[in-house]
Amino acid sequence: MRLLKYSLSLLLLASVSAQAGEKEIRQAFQKNFTGANVASVSKTPYGGLYEVVIDGQVAYATADGKYLVLGNVIDLASKRNITAARNAKLSEVKWSALPLANAIKEVKGNGSRKLAIFSDADCPYCRKLEPELDKLTNVTIYTFLYPIEGLHPDAVPTSKKIWCEKDRLKAWKAYMLKGEEPKSRGDCPNPVDETVELGGKLKVSGTPTMILENGQRIPGYMPADRLDQLLTAASRK
């Protein structure tokens, strides 16, 4: 979480009026955290706190604008993690915003459920995920080739080579499941650079990152049985 670079617990903000509201809290944040993107400030119904969405994550400020509170707010009656639920909502991706033509498409069974995956060809957990995906049925999977060059420099040319194969899906499966290198030169028109740019805009910071039809984002590996449940739930909404 990017906010952790600012503090591990409580951060003292600039002193402002005791009657501080949304405007004053926003100004205090902008003054103390130069360059931080304060997307919204809104009053919560609990503890007199204000919710502050900063750099895509939820934090809380006291009403007087002096203190920032980092951590989870839990509804003890329902045992619901309000902060986690809010962060999950903020991280959702509109399915209609995904350029599906830039992904490798695989239809399994009737293909009725939908799943998009940002996957790095040389990511160990992406490879671990592939056998789990093979266990699913009645789903259409869109795999966006998303090499993280800083971690896996060879994944960029490999991704382009896979895309340039005559049968992209076969080449992807062969590489991820069997370690078979693609044979193309990778010099055909391909969307890999566009996908990297898209992932940056969507704040895809790790792979695999999965997106369900209802917009829910799933970071990291997940076993097939759990993923199957989420796919079914997402298709009903």
How do residues 70-81 score in pLDDT, each as one tens digit? 889 998 989 999
Distance in angstroms (rounded) separating the CA atoms of residues 63 and 67: 9
237: confidence class by pLDDT, cuts 50, 70, 90 = low
Residue 172: exposed, middle, or buried by beta-carbon count in 10 A (0-12, 13-18, 19+)? buried
Looking at the DSSP assignment, which residues form a beta bridge with residue 59?
A: 52
Angle, CA 125 vertex, CA 152 and CA 166 arms, to 5°: 70
Distance in angstroms (rounded) separating the CA atoms of residues 10 and 171: 50
Q: Would you say 72 and 81 are in contact if contact means Cβ atoms under 8 Å apart?
A: yes
User: Mean pLDDT over all residues of the chain?
Assistant: 87
Is the torsion defined by CA of 89, 90, 91, 96 positive or negative? Answer: positive
The two beta strands, 38-43 and 217-219, are unpaired
Of residues 62, 55, 60, the one with CA closest to residue 39: 55
How is residue 234 written in tokens? 């997402």
Show Cβ contacts of residue 105 under 8 Å, excluding neighbours closer than 6 positions: 140, 141, 142, 169
Question: Taking residues 200-218, what's their average pLDDT?
Answer: 94
How do residues 146-161 score in pLDDT, each as one tens digit? 999 989 999 999 999 9
Tell me: pLDDT of 43 over 70: yes
How do residues 85-131 score in pLDDT, each as one tens digit? 888 888 889 999 999 999 999 999 999 999 999 999 999 999 999 99
CATH code, 95-235: 3.40.30.10
Domain boundaries, the chain: 2-90, 95-235
Displacement of CA 173 from its chain's centroid (Å): 23
Displacement of CA 34 from its chain's centroid (Å): 24
Place of tokens 């990017």: 2
Place of tokens 């830039």: 102
Q: Would you say 204 and 118 are in contact if contact means Cβ atoms under 8 Å apart?
A: yes
3-state secondary structure of 139: strand
